[in-house]
Protein backbone atom coordinates (compact mmCIF):
# COMPACT_ATOMS: atom_id res chain seq x y z
CA UNK A 1 0.00 0.00 0.00
CA UNK A 2 1.19 3.48 -0.84
CA UNK A 3 2.43 5.96 1.71
CA UNK A 4 -0.07 8.20 3.51
CA UNK A 5 -0.13 11.54 1.66
CA UNK A 6 1.51 14.58 3.20
CA UNK A 7 -0.19 17.77 4.37
CA UNK A 8 1.27 21.03 5.57
CA UNK A 9 2.31 21.34 9.21
CA UNK A 10 0.49 24.70 9.15
CA UNK A 11 1.14 27.95 10.99
CA UNK A 12 0.63 26.47 14.47
CA UNK A 13 3.18 23.65 14.24
CA UNK A 14 4.84 25.03 17.38
CA UNK A 15 2.06 23.52 19.49
CA UNK A 16 2.96 19.98 18.57
CA UNK A 17 6.58 20.18 17.45
CA UNK A 18 8.23 22.53 19.96
CA UNK A 19 8.06 23.01 23.70
CA UNK A 20 5.17 25.51 23.40
CA UNK A 21 2.96 23.28 25.55
CA UNK A 22 5.39 21.38 27.73
CA UNK A 23 8.96 20.14 28.06
CA UNK A 24 10.78 19.82 24.75
CA UNK A 25 11.46 16.31 23.55
CA UNK A 26 13.59 17.61 20.70
CA UNK A 27 15.30 20.99 21.04
CA UNK A 28 17.80 23.21 19.25
CA UNK A 29 20.54 22.66 21.84
CA UNK A 30 21.85 19.28 20.66
CA UNK A 31 25.29 19.52 22.22
CA UNK A 32 25.78 19.09 25.96
CA UNK A 33 28.88 19.57 28.08
CA UNK A 34 31.44 16.93 27.19
CA UNK A 35 30.25 16.39 23.62
CA UNK A 36 33.15 15.24 21.47
CA UNK A 37 34.33 17.13 18.41
CA UNK A 38 34.26 20.70 17.19
CA UNK A 39 31.42 22.73 18.68
CA UNK A 40 29.30 24.34 15.97
CA UNK A 41 26.67 27.04 16.21
CA UNK A 42 24.73 26.69 12.98
CA UNK A 43 22.54 29.63 12.03
CA UNK A 44 20.65 30.78 8.98
CA UNK A 45 17.66 32.63 7.67
CA UNK A 46 14.77 31.18 5.70
CA UNK A 47 13.62 33.47 2.88
CA UNK A 48 10.58 33.22 0.60
CA UNK A 49 10.14 34.09 -3.08
CA UNK A 50 9.62 37.79 -2.26
CA UNK A 51 12.81 37.91 -0.20
CA UNK A 52 10.74 38.09 2.99
CA UNK A 53 11.79 36.13 6.07
CA UNK A 54 9.77 32.98 6.79
CA UNK A 55 8.95 33.48 10.44
CA UNK A 56 6.77 30.44 11.03
CA UNK A 57 9.00 27.63 9.75
CA UNK A 58 10.49 24.82 11.80
CA UNK A 59 13.77 23.13 10.87
CA UNK A 60 14.90 19.65 11.84
CA UNK A 61 18.52 18.62 11.77
CA UNK A 62 19.54 14.96 11.84
CA UNK A 63 23.27 14.27 11.85
CA UNK A 64 25.97 11.83 12.94
CA UNK A 65 28.20 12.62 15.90
CA UNK A 66 31.76 13.90 15.46
CA UNK A 67 32.91 10.35 14.70
CA UNK A 68 30.24 9.64 12.12
CA UNK A 69 28.06 7.53 14.38
CA UNK A 70 24.33 7.31 15.05
CA UNK A 71 22.57 5.86 18.10
CA UNK A 72 22.93 3.34 19.55
CA UNK A 73 26.62 3.66 20.31
CA UNK A 74 27.08 7.32 19.43
CA UNK A 75 28.22 10.17 21.69
CA UNK A 76 25.80 10.27 24.66
CA UNK A 77 26.49 14.00 25.07
CA UNK A 78 25.04 14.77 21.66
CA UNK A 79 21.43 14.56 20.55
CA UNK A 80 21.68 13.58 16.88
CA UNK A 81 18.27 15.14 16.24
CA UNK A 82 17.51 18.82 16.72
CA UNK A 83 14.62 21.14 16.06
CA UNK A 84 14.68 24.92 15.77
CA UNK A 85 11.74 27.24 15.15
CA UNK A 86 12.45 30.35 13.09
CA UNK A 87 12.18 33.65 14.95
CA UNK A 88 10.50 36.87 13.83
CA UNK A 89 13.38 37.52 11.44
CA UNK A 90 13.18 34.05 9.91
CA UNK A 91 16.36 32.95 11.68
CA UNK A 92 17.14 29.54 13.14
CA UNK A 93 19.99 28.37 15.35
CA UNK A 94 21.35 24.97 16.38
CA UNK A 95 24.01 24.30 19.01
CA UNK A 96 25.67 21.14 17.79
CA UNK A 97 29.01 19.63 16.77
CA UNK A 98 30.56 19.29 13.37
CA UNK A 99 29.39 15.95 11.95
CA UNK A 100 31.94 13.26 11.18
CA UNK A 101 32.14 11.23 7.99
CA UNK A 102 29.85 8.21 7.73
CA UNK A 103 31.55 5.40 5.77
CA UNK A 104 30.06 5.18 2.30
CA UNK A 105 27.90 8.28 2.70
CA UNK A 106 30.05 11.00 1.12
CA UNK A 107 31.40 14.14 2.75
CA UNK A 108 30.34 14.94 6.33
CA UNK A 109 26.88 16.48 6.42
CA UNK A 110 23.67 16.80 8.32
CA UNK A 111 20.22 16.19 6.85
CA UNK A 112 17.66 18.96 7.25
CA UNK A 113 13.93 19.26 6.75
CA UNK A 114 11.77 22.38 6.73
CA UNK A 115 8.14 22.45 7.76
CA UNK A 116 5.87 25.48 7.42
CA UNK A 117 2.51 26.86 6.40
CA UNK A 118 2.40 26.82 2.61
CA UNK A 119 4.56 23.71 2.33
CA UNK A 120 2.39 20.80 1.31
CA UNK A 121 5.39 18.55 1.82
CA UNK A 122 8.33 19.22 4.05
CA UNK A 123 11.46 20.17 2.10
CA UNK A 124 14.67 18.15 2.42
CA UNK A 125 18.13 19.64 2.16
CA UNK A 126 21.62 18.96 3.49
CA UNK A 127 24.18 21.00 5.33
CA UNK A 128 27.82 20.45 4.33
CA UNK A 129 30.73 22.50 5.68
CA UNK A 130 32.91 24.77 3.58
CA UNK A 131 36.56 23.82 3.36
CA UNK A 132 36.09 20.09 3.91
CA UNK A 133 38.34 18.39 1.34
CA UNK A 134 35.81 15.54 1.04
CA UNK A 135 33.22 17.92 -0.46
CA UNK A 136 34.92 17.68 -3.85
CA UNK A 137 34.15 13.97 -4.09
CA UNK A 138 30.67 13.99 -2.57
CA UNK A 139 28.16 12.45 -5.01
CA UNK A 140 25.32 14.83 -4.16
CA UNK A 141 27.44 17.98 -4.34
CA UNK A 142 28.90 16.82 -7.64
CA UNK A 143 25.44 16.19 -9.06
CA UNK A 144 24.31 19.62 -7.82
CA UNK A 145 26.93 21.43 -9.89
CA UNK A 146 26.70 25.21 -9.41
CA UNK A 147 23.77 24.74 -7.01
CA UNK A 148 26.04 22.87 -4.56
CA UNK A 149 27.01 26.11 -2.82
CA UNK A 150 23.43 26.46 -1.52
CA UNK A 151 24.04 23.35 0.59
CA UNK A 152 27.39 24.35 2.08
CA UNK A 153 27.52 26.27 5.36
CA UNK A 154 30.19 28.98 5.61
CA UNK A 155 32.03 30.40 8.57
CA UNK A 156 30.60 33.75 9.61
CA UNK A 157 32.64 35.01 12.56
CA UNK A 158 32.06 32.58 15.41
CA UNK A 159 29.18 30.73 13.76
CA UNK A 160 28.47 28.64 10.67
CA UNK A 161 25.77 30.02 8.40
CA UNK A 162 23.46 28.32 5.95
CA UNK A 163 20.65 30.50 4.60
CA UNK A 164 17.74 28.77 2.94
CA UNK A 165 16.03 30.37 -0.04
CA UNK A 166 12.75 28.71 -0.91
CA UNK A 167 12.28 30.25 -4.34
CA UNK A 168 13.96 32.41 -6.98
CA UNK A 169 17.57 33.58 -7.31
CA UNK A 170 20.01 31.34 -5.42
CA UNK A 171 17.17 28.98 -4.56
CA UNK A 172 18.36 26.19 -2.29
CA UNK A 173 18.93 22.87 -4.06
CA UNK A 174 16.31 20.77 -2.30
CA UNK A 175 16.46 16.99 -2.39
CA UNK A 176 14.00 14.50 -3.77
CA UNK A 177 14.03 12.24 -0.73
Partner 1 sequence: MTLLRPRAPGWHPPALAPDYRSTRLRAPTAPPLTLPSAGVELTGPVFGHGDLGPLDGDLHLNFAQQGESALGPRIRVHGKVVDEDDRPVTGALIEVWQANAGGRYRHMKDGYLAPLDPNFGGCGRVLTDAEGRYAFRTIQPGPYPWPNGGNDWRPAHIHLSLFGRAFAQRLVTQLYFEGDPFIPHCPILCAIPRPEARDRLTARLDLDATEPMDTVAWRFDIVLRGVAQTPFETQPEGQ
| Subset of 114-133 contacting partner 1 (CB under 8 A) | 115-124, 126
Whether residue 9 contacts residue 57, with contact meaning beta carbons closer than 8 Å, is answered with: no
**Contacts of partner 1 in 54-83 (CB under 8 A):** 54, 56, 60, 62-64, 70-72, 80-81
CB nearer to partner 1: give 76 or 139.
139
146 binds partner 1 (CB under 8 A): no
Residue 21 three-state SS? helix
Nearest distance from residue 59's CB to partner 1, in Å? 13
Give the C-alpha separation, 17 to 21, whole Å.
9
Consecutive H or E run containing 142: helix 139-144
Least Å from the CB of residue 70 to partner 1: 5
Query: From the list 10, 27, 37, 53, which residue makes contact with partner 1 (rule: CB under 8 A)?
Result: 10
How distant is the alpha carbon of residue 153 from its chain centre?
A: 10
Instruction: Give least dist CB 109 to partner 1, A.
Output: 7
Show the site string, 22-41: x = touches partner 1 by CB under 8 A, - = not: xx-x----------------
Fill in the DSSP letter of residue 31: B
Over its C-alpha atoms, the chain yields an Rg (Å, rounded) of: 16
- Bridge partners of 45, per DSSP, are 91
Q: Is 174 in the site for partner 1 (CB under 8 A)?
A: yes
Amino acid sequence: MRETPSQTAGPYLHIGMTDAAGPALIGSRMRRDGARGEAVTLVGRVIDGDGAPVTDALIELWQPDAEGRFPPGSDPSLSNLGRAACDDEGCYMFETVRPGAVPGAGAPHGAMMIYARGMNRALHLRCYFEGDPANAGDPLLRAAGARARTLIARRDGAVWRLDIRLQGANETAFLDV
